[in-house]
Every structure is written in structure tokens, then in C-alpha cells.
Structure 1
Amino acid sequence: MQYLSCRLKALPLIALSLLFLVPAMAFQTANASTVSNGDFQSQSFSKVVDWYDYVRQYAANNNLPQPNATEHAYIYTNYVNVGGFQLFYAGLVNATHNGTFVTIPIQTFFEHFKTVGGKDAITASSFISLVSFNESNADPYPNSPDKTDTVYASFSLGVNLTTITGHKLPGYVATSQITPLTQVDSQHYTWGLKYTNLNAIWWKINPDPFIPTADLVTPRGFAQYNELSFNYALAIDPTSKTATLTTSYTLGRMTDLYILSPTPAIHLNAAGTYNLTGYQISNQNIYQFLQSRQMKLSIVLGNKAILAGTVSDKDDSGASVDNSNSTDVTHTAVNTDASDGDKIFRADFGVKSKYQLYNYTADSSENTASPYSVNVRTVNVNAWAGNHAFWFQNRFMGFLPLFVANVDPGLIQQAKAGLIDFTVSDYLYIISYPTWGGYKIVHDPDYTAFYTPASNVGLLTAIFLAVAVAAGVGGLFAFLFRKRRAAGIAVSGVGPTGPSPTQDPTPSGPTIPGR
């Protein structure tokens, strides 16, 4: 078993094993490593970079507005390039918002390969947000959040809750611990990113397909999860011509919950209910509270594919899954294929239709798990993508084109010269865990790419990232939330149909209260 290097500039080697055991706030710009075009020609690399360094440099070189020098975004990046299949992973360790460090668990992985039919394909899959919800009596989509439910998006935006509540509440920075990229053998790799004591605000949203709304003025709650972990296992099989990434999500137990609205605010934990001065007002604990309110938990994810040709997304029955409808895919998979039937990508939920729930009240050691049925459905893109609650993720991940362009600006031109017409397919989906009660959940769906084995071509991977940028789908949220459309890459004599990678790197977001 071989551990791949995670090189961090200006840090002694002895510190590497300790770096990710300290709070994420310890990261500084001088600690970040760098990624260059040459890295993509290697079989693999693993680095932590400050994404904003690339944004600032690219903006300076192209006379664009630069982010404030105090803004940072530390990204854990992993890259695998084996036998004609390439994967690039990025996980947000932490970032700054208005000079304050916050932890928002954004995860994405890109894949590039030639399909079995010989077509160049690019895919991207991403974790977007935790969502808690309480269902209405007349629910069109049972056990899944929709516009008839009471829905809370759960992440931090750096709001000063002490100012709002008049009481000191926990901070926003979780402890982040990296599981190193490990080469198990020539065709198997593992890695992970774990957030410990993740604090997040509950923002009330309405995922209405026509008028999506969010109340970003009044935080409804503030929760602490003892863990949120993402563990990845990549298996590349040249015989079956598949590359399968198993993603294991661990949604840790909620240890504390502050209900901030309606007032008066209360604080719940495993011992009971308290006011914000610390006086116990009830014996009802956090788990009894969540169960009595019938709160359920979901995660929002997205997938996108780019191919030189027509692409479709369908479940195993052949039913179309696009960005404007809702389809139950709990016991099936979403298959992304070319128009001639050439397989591209498969997100399989049927093989893992159960999740494991660890009831802390029954077993405080959390060694005993019970299986429960998961619920998975594709959702209307505008209902979620159009919601301004996610403006921070949108703003931050929109910097990806500048990151790639700064690594090697020439790659953009090479991409333009090599590929002209693309069709972009995309869908969002929600995995729901109806039985929750605030307890720990573990679930692990599979994602499979169908590729043609070939010799390693590292430069092609860097080009495929540039292609994604030039196609106007580089940023994670811009990438995931763009409606299905034909996207062109500007070349000599061909008019551009996608935005330029040199667009303004600082899209605006709504004013955040309490700042």
C-alpha cells in the first residue's frame, strides 16, 4: 500500500502528519501548495491549495477585479491518471467570508475518459448542501423536501450570531482532517475529508420551481454536527472497461441545536433544553425534540456530463430524467448515454437502497446500526439552483475557471482548437433519510464511468478541465445549475455560445445580515 505525497510549500515534512489534526483556521496562505500543468502529466498527485491565490494572480494578469487579499479558500485536491481514465477531486477545507473563516463542505470530482465508443467525455459530480425538512400533510413527494414542506438549508455564511442573539454562540470553523490519497494497488485508490464539530445555520428556503425563495435575514436555527465525512474508493477495471467511485457519506450525530426563531431562543443538547443564559427549562433533549417535530435529513447533489454529441439522462426503465422534472430513482440508477447508446456514466442508487442509522440514545457508543430505506429523486433545477440561499457557494465555485486558466492559460486555446461543439446534460438529485432523529447516518452510493483503456495521457486531463471552462461550465454551481443547452467553444470563425473564462471573478451576492 503506497501513500501518495501531499506536498505543502514551506512546511517541514514532520508537520505534514499533524497539519490536518489542528483546526482548519490554522491554514495560512504560506502553507498552501501549488498546482501546475506538469502535475497533470503525472500518474497522481495530492495537494492543498489556496484557490484564491490563483484567482488573484489570473485577475492581475488580465486586468480584472481581484478578490480582497484577506480572502482565502483552502482546497484539498487529488488527481488520478491511470490507463486512459482521469479523475480530479476538490474538497473545500475552509474559506473566508468578509475576513471570517467558515467551513462549508463543498465536494466535487471531475472525470475525463474516452467512452467505449471512442467519444471524449467529461463528467462532474458534486455534493452541494445538507437540508433538513418537516413534511406537510398533503405532500406530492413523500420523504423528500419540496415546496409544500418546511425546508432548511444547512450551512454557514459567517453571520454574527452573537450580535443577533446577544449571547456568545460557537464559531463557524470545523476541524478538518484529510485521509491521504492512497494507492492500494495499480487500479485502486482511496482518500477522504472529515469535518469534526461542523457548525451550520438553518436558513428557511422554499424550493418552488417557479419562485424559489429564501429568508436570509432571520436565521431559524444553529446546529452542530459532530462529524461530516466523505470517503472515496476508486476501482479502475480495464477488463470490464469501468471506473467505479464509491462515495461513503457519514452524516454525524447532531450534538447541539439552537432554535433562534421564533423567540425566545433555546438551546437543546443530549441533556435537555436550556435558555441562552444556560438555565434548564425542560428535560426534552435534542433527539426527542427532532423526533417530535418529525424532522428528516437530506443531501443535495448534482451531476453533469459533456460530450461531443447528443447526451441523455434516463433511469433503468428508460424514463427521461432532466432538469425540469422529478423522478423517483430510489431503486434504480440514472444512466447518462450518447444518442447511439454509447454508455458514459451511471449513478447507481439501487445497489445501496439502505442507509445505516446509529441510535445514540439506544447505544451511546454508536457501534450498533439499523438499516432503513433511503429515498432518492431527481428535482427541478430551478427550484434549487435558482435559490439565492446558495449564493456563497455560487460565488466561490465560480472561480474555478480562473484557477484552471492560471495553471496553464495555453490549455484554453488548445481546448478550443481540439473540440468545437458540445451538448451539456445535467440533473440535480436529493438523497433523503426519512428516519433520522438527529442520529448518525452512513450511506454509500456508486458512480461508474464507462471508458476505453489506453495509455496515460496526463496533458489531456488538463485540457479537459480547460474544455469544461471554455464550455461555460467550469464553476461548480455554475457548472451544475446551468440549464440543459448546447454549449459551444469559441474558435476562429465560430461564434461563442458560452461565457468567456475571463469573466468577472467576483459575482455579487445578497447583503448578509449582522455584518
Structure 2
Amino acid sequence: MHATKSKIVTFSVLILLVLPFAAMPMSNAWTAGDEAVVFGHTFEEEYWTNSSIRVEAEDGTNASLTASFVHVGEFSSFLIAFNNANKTDGTQAILPYQLFGMYFKTPENREVFIGAIFAFLLVHNETYGSNDLPDVGNEPAWYIVPLASDNTWPEYTPVVDPIPATKISDGHYRFGMRYYNLTCRVVDANNPLGFWISLALPILTVLISELVIQYDITIGETGEVNAETLYTLGQVNKMKFWGNETAPTEIITDSMEISAVHYLSIFTSQYTVATETGTVLTPPTSTMPLDEDISIRVGSDDERAFDIGLGRNYALINETTGMTVSDNETALNTLLGARLSDLLLVAWQAPLSAWIFAHMAYGLSAQIRSVYTSVGDMASHAVAGTAFHNSNWWYAVTFPEWNSLRIQQDPVYTAYTNLAAGGGGGGVVVLLLVAVGVLVLVYIIRRR
């Protein structure tokens, strides 16, 4: 009964997530400032946050979302995040869904959109290969899945705290989201039967003290834009095994490691995925370690549009004592082979994110408005799958030293813009929907 109720709450949450964007103008012509209908702000303002975008469903359920935005020249960055939903029966749902995006033009004036979505964490028991990497299928592994609605520990109240857009200095901005007391279900990643049973039943449940994702944006004089993701995973403070309180140290052993897994999905045409030094990569069928950053290159001339600089170091902190156990641990980066259970866990995010991202892209880009007849036209193509396509690109950042302690790590994303060159005419459009979570590369030349 509890599992069924959670599913209903989650479905209602997804409906509420898209309601604000349904209010955006669907006409053929888009007038600058129309976005104020949803956000209370326009895309011409330098920076803003609205943390109280409120919507209500027909059944009386109400919810709120947060939107943050930064605009400098032809560069824009935004965050769409879910705060919470309140059911008429008193149930509250909190889901750490957030879509981070950047819009800019490359030095060759190709329009580029990049988006990042938080997805899930993966824990594995390092018993295969001695490589400190998740070899799912060859060693035990589990997904850590946040629950939309749960009362496992009623004494711990989940809290969402939007971090508003702030101008730290000229060309330097920051915004994000903070979540406290997240209850998560541990889901078996080893076989289909175990996956479905552990997803439906609360076999192993954990309480994570805090999850913080901040986006620190620095616009340099050379035209490079560094978007640093300040990512914090709090300590595992509580655990229940089959409903019984269990100390985390009784389950989480020294050989267990945790990874942030990223799913890549491609939205059409001409691109390559390569290492920072230019070695072209193909999707692997098994774990493939990375010792270089990933670069996305677009167009027939392989113009460098976007780098994913995966951070190499992280800190371990004991929240109970307040002590820093280590401030110089090394994270490992790898490409993974795709698994059906991975796809199932992000299946709800991909069409939802495509739908929301389509609305943002349509409002920001005149070139996209010339390709699609309306924002509804672009959104329907995205949701129908005629724009976004699945791929076999998965990558992970693994933290070999964990022991259920607090992890802090700062990966870096670098965009190559034309801000230093002073802009220019529009070229073809490139859309990348990165999932921290889902990385979707969209290269629009013509309407399909």
C-alpha cells in the first residue's frame, strides 16, 4: 500500500512540474518578455531567482518550483528546480529534480544549449578487477534513489532551500539548491528480479543528511565560461533494513564505493565525443577508465563547444564529529556500458526534461523559433522522441574512499563562447542536455 501511494504521489509531482510551462505562449510569434508570464522576470534581466512559482492541480494538490537565471551578452544560464508538492491528505512530496542549462554562441557563431539533470547515485562493492570502478554485472551494486514521499523517519523533516542567484563580482555568479534529510531507497542493480522487488519494497532505506548542488559561473575576458558544479553529498545518518533500525556501518563496508552516474542521450546529427586531447571515443560495452576530460565537438570542422572537466579530488568529512577525515582523496572517472535498469531509472526524467528544455530553448533562441512553428511544436517533437534519441553513453565519477561520510567535490564545465569576439550572426544550433543525469546533444540544421 505504501509503495502504491508513493507512485501516485510521484506521478502527481511530474504533472505539477510541467504546469507552469504549459502557460507559456504557444503561438507562432514569440514576443520578447513573454516568459514573464511564468517567471515574473524576463530573459533580458542580468540575474534573478523566483523560488515561489506556484501551481495547483485539479485534485487540489499544490506545488512550487524555483527558477534562477543569469544573462550576460549572448550568454545565458538557468536552473529549473522542484521545491515540493502538498497533497490534500497532508502528504508532502520532495523530489530533488533540477534542470541546469546554459545558452551561448561558439566563436564560429553556432548556438549551443547545454542542460544538466540530477539523476542517481550508484554504490558498488569493490570485489572485481581491483580497479576501484563500478563493474556492474561482475560485482554487487545498488542504486540510491530519493523517494518523492516518505515518512520512514518522521522526526527528520525534509527541507528544500533554494540558493538564489547572486552576483559575486563582475562576470561571477552563483545559484543552486539545497536539500536536507533526504530519504532514499537502496535498489538492487544486479539482476531484474532484485531490481523490481527492491524498488517496490522498502528492503533497505537510508537517510542522507544533505544534498547541495550549486552552479558557480565565471565569464572570462577571453570568452571562456567556467560553470563549476559545487556538489555535496551529506553523510548517511540513518538506515533501516526490513524496517529495523540498523547502524550504517553494519551495512556499508570499507570496500564499498559510491559513484555519481551520468547518462548521455543524443539529440541528432553532427558531433563527436572525444578526450580533451582529441581522441575520438565510441560507446563502450564495459567499464572504460578515463584519465582525460571529455570534450564535445560540433560541426563538420569539429569545433570545440563544451568540455566536461571531471574533478579529480574530493574531501571526506565526518558530520558527527565535525572533523575533516581527508581533504585530498582522488576521484576516478570512467565510461560505463548501458544497462536496462539504468534506462528504467531515468526514463521518467528524459521526456520531462526534454519538454521543459524545449520551452526554455524556444524562448531564448530566434534560430530555434525559425525551425519550429511554435514552442508547442518543439516540445511535442521532444516528448515524442523525434528530437531526442537514446544512446549508449554513460559515464561516472567514482569516490573510492567513502565509508558513508560526507563527500565534497567540484567538477568543472567549460563553454567556448563568442563573448570576447563581440557576437555576430547566428549559425546552426547545438543543444546539449547533460544529465547528471542525462547528456543530450542537439544539433539542429533543419526540421526533421
Q: TM-score, normalised by structure 2?
A: 0.73
Shift of 1:214: 4.1
Matched with 1:179 is: 163
- 1:90–1:107 Cα contact (<8 Å) kept: yes
Q: In the aligned structure 1, how far is the partner of 2:166 from the partner of 2:282?
A: 36
Please give the secondary structure, in 2, of the residue aligned with 1:377: strand
**CA 1:87–1:399 in 2, change beyond 3 Å: closer, same or farther?**
same
Q: In the aligned structure 2, how far is the partner of 1:112 from the partner of 1:220?
A: 42
Matched with 1:266 is: 244
Q: In the aligned structure 2, how far is the partner of 1:317 from the partner of 1:184?
A: 33
- 1:358–1:366 Cα contact (<8 Å) kept: yes
Matched with 2:188 is: 204
Matched with 2:253 is: 291
**CA 1:434–1:185 in 2, change beyond 3 Å: closer, same or farther?**
same
Please give the secondary structure, in 2, of the residue aligned with 1:224: strand
**CA 1:412–1:212 in 2, change beyond 3 Å: closer, same or farther?**
farther
Matched with 1:217 is: 200
**CA 1:158–1:44 in 2, change beyond 3 Å: closer, same or farther?**
closer
1:127 aligns with 2:118: yes
CA offset digits 1:243-288 (Å, max 9, x no partner):
001111111111101112xxxx4312xxxxxxxxxxxxxxxx4235
**Greater CA deviation, 319-328 or 421-430?**
421-430
1:227 aligns with 2:210: yes
Specify which of 32, 46, 56 is matched with residue 43 of structure 1.
Answer: 46
**CA 1:177–1:207 in 2, change beyond 3 Å: closer, same or farther?**
farther
Shift of 1:313: 0.9
CA offset digits 1:268-325 (Å, max 9, x no partner):
2xxxxxxxxxxxxxxxx42354126x33212223466869x62111113534345554
- 2:116–2:439 Cα contact (<8 Å) kept: no
- 2:146–2:184 Cα contact (<8 Å) kept: yes
Matched residue type, 2:143 = A
1:93 aligns with 2:117: no
Specify which of 84, 91, 106 is matched with residue 115 of structure 1.
Answer: 106
- 1:102–1:173 Cα contact (<8 Å) kept: no
Matched residue type, 1:315 = T
**Can you give the 5+ residue segments of structure 2 that lack an aligned partner in the other structure?**
1-18, 21-35, 379-385
1:448 aligns with 2:430: no
Matched residue type, 1:371 = N
Matched residue type, 1:440 = R
- 2:109–2:423 Cα contact (<8 Å) kept: no
Q: In the aligned structure 2, how far is the partner of 1:97 from the partner of 1:380?
A: 39
Q: In the aligned structure 2, how far is the partner of 1:410 from the partner of 1:315?
A: 32
Specify which of 380, 392, 400 is matched with residue 434 of structure 1.
Answer: 400
Number of residue equivalences: 398
Matched with 1:148 is: 138
Please give the secondary structure, in 2, of the residue aligned with 1:430: strand
Q: Higher Cα Rg: structure 1 or 2?
A: 1
**CA 1:204–1:51 in 2, change beyond 3 Å: closer, same or farther?**
farther
**Can you give the 5+ residue segments of structure 1 that lack an aligned partner in the other structure?**
1-28, 54-66, 162-167, 269-284, 491-495, 497-515
Q: In the aligned structure 2, how far is the partner of 1:97 from the partner of 1:313?
A: 44
Q: In the aligned structure 2, how far is the partner of 1:391 from the partner of 1:106?
A: 13
Bigger share in strand: 2
**CA 1:73–1:181 in 2, change beyond 3 Å: closer, same or farther?**
same
- 1:230–1:249 Cα contact (<8 Å) kept: yes
- 1:112–1:123 Cα contact (<8 Å) kept: yes
Q: In the aligned structure 2, how far is the partner of 1:212 from the partner of 1:317?
A: 41
Q: In the aligned structure 2, how far is the partner of 1:111 from the partner of 1:217?
A: 36
Shift of 1:360: 5.1
**CA 1:297–1:230 in 2, change beyond 3 Å: closer, same or farther?**
same
1:257 aligns with 2:239: yes
Please give the secondary structure, in 2, of the residue aligned with 1:118: coil
**CA 1:320–1:384 in 2, change beyond 3 Å: closer, same or farther?**
farther
Shift of 1:69: 4.0
Specify which of 335, 351, 357 is matched with residue 295 of structure 2.
Answer: 335
Please give the secondary structure, in 1, of the residue aligned with 2:178: strand
Q: TM-score, normalised by structure 1?
A: 0.64
Q: Identical aligned pairs, as a percentage?
A: 18
Matched with 1:314 is: 274
Matches of residues 301-380 of structure 1 in structure 2 within 5 Å? Answer: 301-302=262-263, 310-323=270-283, 325=285, 328=288, 330-338=290-298, 339-349=300-310, 352-359=311-318, 364-367=321-324, 369-380=326-337
Q: In the aligned structure 2, how far is the partner of 1:38 from the partner of 1:235?
A: 22
- 1:206–1:214 Cα contact (<8 Å) kept: no
Shift of 1:236: 0.3
Please give the secondary structure, in 1, of the residue aligned with 2:200: coil
Matched with 1:386 is: 343
**Greater CA deviation, 410-419 or 116-125?**
410-419
**CA 1:370–1:237 in 2, change beyond 3 Å: closer, same or farther?**
closer
Please give the secondary structure, in 1, of the residue aligned with 2:120: strand
Q: In the aligned structure 2, how far is the partner of 1:84 from the partner of 1:407?
A: 14
Q: In the aligned structure 1, how far is the partner of 2:195 from the partner of 2:445?
A: 32
